[in-house]
Amino acid sequence: MDQPDELRDVRLFHKALADVNRLRIVQRLAEGDASVTELIEHVGLSQPLVSWHLGRLRAAGIVETRRNGRETVCRLLPEAFDAFATRERLALGLAASGQGRASS
């Protein structure tokens, strides 16, 4: 069965954040832009692994990269989290009611 696009987007975002190394990269980038070299030092992984994790974060729209000479500089897109929360609520049908269940 094919998944609707909006559910695929929700899954992609959650999968991007479902790895502790990617979360550590996000935490570091929350402090400010960083080169791939700085991220390698921060997370203690090899360059190919850091690049692979950055690819997952880029695909989910959480991080953007740019070239600065020979270095790749990464930047967190904090607005992606608010935009995602809105899309997720719509995709899951939570935005229509505007309220959650009351807890007892």
Q: Which residues of 30-68 are buried (b: 16+ CB within 10 A; e: fewer)?
A: eeeebebebbbebbebeeeebeebbebbeebbbbebeee
- CATH class, range 5-91: mainly alpha
Q: What integer is the mean pLDDT of 19-44?
A: 97
Residue 4: predicted pLDDT: 75
- pLDDT band with cut points at 50, 70 and 90 for residue 11: confident
Instruction: From 66, 59, 70, select the one nearest 33 (Cα to Cα).
Output: 66
Kindly tell me if the per-residue pLDDT of 80 is higher than 50.
yes
Percent of the chain with pLDDT over 90: 65
